[in-house]
Amino acid sequence: MIEVRDLQKSFGAQLVLDSVGFRIENGESVAIIGRSGSGKSVLLKHLIGLLQPDTGEVLIDGENIVPMNERQLLRVRRKFGMLFQGAALFDSMTVAENVAFGLRRYEHLTEAEIGQRVAGALEMVDLPGTENKKPAELSGGMRKRVGLARAIIYEPQIVLYDEPTTGLDPIVSDSIDQLMVRVRDQLKVTTVMVTHDMRTARRIGQRVLMLHDKKIYASGTADEIFASQDPVVRQFIDGVADPKENLP
């Protein structure tokens, strides 16, 4: 279970998140939507302790991770798998080494067992036989799949997705969506996804939180949010630019 209470974060003089609070139950699938620069990724990084809030609490299974130091956080982070916006694959390693990274460091397995688990994870993300490729040889969509395989190979309880479909064409985005649904349903993980892709949010998010003006502005099931008549929510879902904000 993830619970965020009164979270506030600023970078220098710029306040990014103000009194943000929500709760995500085990096994739930939540999409956090909001405009670019609204602090979605910043919020996601707080959930895994990659950023420290100025004030507020982040509770993972009832344990507040905010006062923890980097070493104490490592224990909590083993519950998480995270897919980064740019996949963040380790350039110097092959696909297999990337995917096996978590296994090698924390599970005492033989090389054969690691090989099997890696092949299984790559099979799950529809990338069998790519073990020996380097990240530089992969397309954007393939990199995200490898990033996902790396995030799920040690069977975490919670998977975080940071803009999983950003920068991908609609067909690849669709395949990533299907993959996320597969991971959610097969591994029974809690899913938290940050996106501004409405189709992805609707398909993956059983519940949708909208971040606006530094706060959680709207919260509800995907159907409720998409049927909302609130002008701010409506504007975002319909993708209509505010005439006052037109670029020069």
Partner 1 sequence: MANPALAKTRRFDTVAVMFSLSANKRVIEALAELGRITLLAREAVLSLLKGRASWRDLLYQIYFIGVKSQSVVLITGAFTGMVLAAQTYIQFHKVKMDTATLAVVGVSMCSELGPVLTALMVAGCVGAAMAAEIGTMRVTEQIDALRALATHPVDYLVVPRLIAAHIALPLLTVEAIFIGILGGYFVSVNLLDIEPTYLLANMLKYTHQADLVIGLIKAFIYGGVIALIGCYKGMTCRLGAEGVGQATTEAVVYASITILIANFFLTLVMGKLVGLL
Residues forming the site for partner 1 (CB under 8 A): 45, 48-50, 70-71, 73-75, 77-78, 80-82, 84-86, 88-92, 101-102, 105-106, 150-151, 160
Q: Is 9:16 a contact under the CB 8 Å cutoff?
A: yes
Q: How far is the CB of 150 from partner 1 (least distance, A)?
A: 7
Radius of gyration of the chain (CA): 18
- The two tokens of residue 49 are 């302790």
Helix axes 170-187, 111-124, angle to 10 degrees: 120
Q: Which is nearer to partner 1, 91 or 242 (CB)?
A: 91
Q: Which is nearer to partner 1, 88 or 232 (CB)?
A: 88
- The two tokens of residue 110 are 């033989």
Q: How far is the CB of 115 from partner 1 (least distance, A)?
A: 17
Q: DSSP alpha helices (H): ranges in the chain?
A: 40-47, 70-77, 95-106, 111-124, 140-152, 170-187, 198-204, 222-227, 231-238
Residues ≥6 apart with Cβ < 8 Å to 133: 94, 95
Q: How far is CA 224 from CA 6, 16, 218, 219, 229, in A?
A: 24, 26, 10, 9, 10
Q: How far is the CB of 246 from partner 1 (least distance, A)?
A: 28
Q: Which is nearer to partner 1, 68 or 232 (CB)?
A: 68
Q: How far is the CB of 156 from partner 1 (least distance, A)?
A: 10
Q: Which is nearer to partner 1, 10 or 72 (CB)?
A: 72
Q: Which is nearer to partner 1, 153 or 222 (CB)?
A: 153
Q: How far is the CB of 90 from partner 1 (least distance, A)?
A: 6
